[in-house]
Amino acid sequence: MQPAVKRIIFFAAIIAFWEIGSRLELWMPIILPSPTMVWDALVTGFEDKTLIYDLAASFKRLAIGLGISLVIGMGLGVLLAKSKTADETLGTVILALQSVPSIVWLPLAIMWFGMNEKAVIFVVVLGGAFVMTLNVRVGIKNVSPLYIKAAQTMGARGWDLFARVIFPASIPYMVTGARLAWAFAWRALMAGELLSTGPGLGYTLRYASDFGNMSLVIGVMIIIGVIGSIVDQLIFQRVEKSVLQRWGLES
């Protein structure tokens, strides 16, 4: 049986159990609305274009924040990999900051920027930059010494050695870093939007929660999860697999 068929059967069974349980009143609708109620809330949200505006606003913030985080991560990763002093000092700080959940940065972001777009983007940048930095660092440091010695034997030095050998050899790690940065940035975005004042999936999630609209709360949570899964599997996972196969790291 194909994996896609298995997934369809699995999720169909979950939805069926969920709907039947709701109709038999095994739990209160205010706690867990039925799939039908969630679907109606989503349809209403798309019909009045609320969720469309939310998606557009969230993806705009994500694109800006993720783009900045990838650039910063690339630069810091190269610095840590090429400078022992930076790795032993700044690298320790980055490793520590990587373990800090994105939502912890929210109070600082609000104090620095206020409750606006800049605060949300700041949280997104921090969510993706550190993991990208560490993956780029590991990728460059793990380049086989045989490749470097062979290139040096043929006269490659300095920037030429980095551009022709070290950078291409570390690309699989960079692709993995970008994939992880996307996942961390997406979660950071949702955390940041919970305290935002404009349109966005996180803002609508908090708004629906404040007014007790559990159908919309669960609906938005499903949208967040589906988008995360689709982007990861259809874009980043395929790109990562293609790169690994091209570099001979996966059959």
Domains of the chain, each with CATH number or no CATH? 48-246 (1.10.3720.10)
Quick check: 128 and 181 in contact, CB under 8 A?
yes
pLDDT at 251: 59
Residue 250: pLDDT band with limits 50, 70, 90: low
Task: Return the residue matching tokens 């999630």.
Answer: 205
Instruction: Tell me the per-residue pLDDT of 4-55, one tens digit each, with 9 for 90 and over.
Output: 788 889 999 999 999 998 888 888 878 889 999 999 999 999 999 999 999 9
Report the alpha-carbon distance of residue 179 to residue 241 in Å, rounded.
11
Q: Would you state the structure tokens that stand for residue 132, as one six-digit string?
A: 């990208």
Token pair listed for 17: 């159990």
What is the DSSP secondary structure assignment for residue 165, as one 8-state letter? I
